[in-house]
Amino acid sequence: MIYMNTNINERWEEICNEYVTLFCNKHGWEPEKEMWVHDDPGTTILIGDMYVGMDEIRYDIDNDIDESVFSTWYWKALELYELGVETWMNYESFCKGAPDEWPEERIQRLREAKQRLSDAELDVKRCMDEEKIKNSNYGGTR
């Protein structure tokens, strides 16, 4: 039988929420303690339109990282992910100045390549739609 010590759980939630409050105040954001993903304090929390992990919050507060660094890291990580880069450096490595394999020029090439792919997909869809129209005008398929 697993024994859950509610006192420890309550303290953990209080500590996590205190970190979130400090983090949000530091960055000028509104803390939303009720926004823990799966109602699980200490994991990931929704702050504004960002999903932020407790590890990043703790590292930011415990190391008094400059306010501008988190946003720079977060939005770059999100853009890279949306461009198809599944993993990029974690927040701590970014803060410590780890070499970044994704400078702006490389990201721009990826953006352009992704746009060309999107344009090609739209072109294929348009061609297929045109063929469907032609086929329906001839009463069947070829």
Provide the residue type at 128 as one letter.
M
Choice between 98 and 32, residue whose per-residue pLDDT is larger? 98
Domain map of the chain by residue range?
6-102, 103-142
Question: What torsion do the CA atoms of 134, 137, 138, 141 make, to the nearest 10 degrees?
Answer: 60
Name the band, by pLDDT with cuts 50, 70 and 90, for residue 6.
Answer: confident
Q: Are 135 and 142 in contact (CB under 8 A)?
A: yes
Q: Are 45 and 54 in contact (CB under 8 A)?
A: yes
Its pTM surpasses 0.75: yes
- Tokens for 125, please give them: 């869809």
